[in-house]
Amino acid sequence: MKRGYHHGNLRQALVEAALALIAEKGPQGFTLSEAAKAADVTPAAVYRHFAGRDDLLAEVARQGYDIFAALMEFAYNNGQPTALAAFEATGRAYLAFARKYPGHYQAMFESGLSPADHPDLAQVAAKARQVLERAAESLSQHMPADKRPPAIMFSSHIWALSHGVVELFMRGDRQNAPFPPEDLLEAGIGIYLRGLGLLPADR
């Protein structure tokens, strides 16, 4: 018998059901009715909380960004012990998040959602980006102003590098990964920072 409207925490149960379905079918591979069935409630009950599947995915992504922002903040550690160490730690935190929370990661980055359509999602996504921007700004503040990249560009490059390592070598062709993902990311960040003059050539 379906539990219908009497489910104790239906909203979160649907999020958990969506995470399981994402792991099985991907973020666009299931319907809201399937999420209702997985949560053992009637489809009608679902609409009390979510207008449609994208609404449910947005909540999964919002919770993911919330976790992600907290992990990035913890890794950054207010720029301690050094700006460089803190910056590198945020890159490792990105990989750690993708590995530990794959369902959230896919909802955030592979569901096709536009944060602009979901204000709560946009707000927490911006919070996560700001941690990396602060790390980039702190690391590059000693560069001459005319040679210093905007923090948002700097951080976006590292975000793209991190994302590429995740997609190719953590979620993609793991068997043919030439090196562990952490080593690939660290080497890529090192090359980028040397190119900016933020690391000596022999680092």
pLDDT digits (tens, 9 = 90+) for 155-177: 999 999 999 999 888 776 666 67
pLDDT surpassing 80 at residue 5: no
CB-side exposure of 122: number of CA atoms within 13 Å?
6
- What's the chain's length in residues? 203
pLDDT digits (tens, 9 = 90+) for 67-78: 999 999 999 999
- % of the chain with per-residue pLDDT over 70: 91
With 0.95 as the threshold, say if the pTM is over it: no
Residue 18 pLDDT class (50, 70, 90 cuts): very high
Query: Which pLDDT score, from 0 to 100, does residue 93 have?
Result: 93
8 A C-beta contact, residue 76 and residue 134 = yes
The CA–CA distances, whole Å, from 24 to 19, 102, 113, 131, 151 equal 9, 11, 19, 31, 37
Residue 142 pLDDT class (50, 70, 90 cuts): confident
pLDDT surpassing 60 at residue 10: yes
Q: Report all structural domains of the chain as residue ranges with CATH numbers, in order of start.
A: 1-50 (1.10.10), 58-196 (1.10.357.10)
Mean pLDDT of the residues in the chain? 87
| Mean of pLDDT values over 190-202 | 80
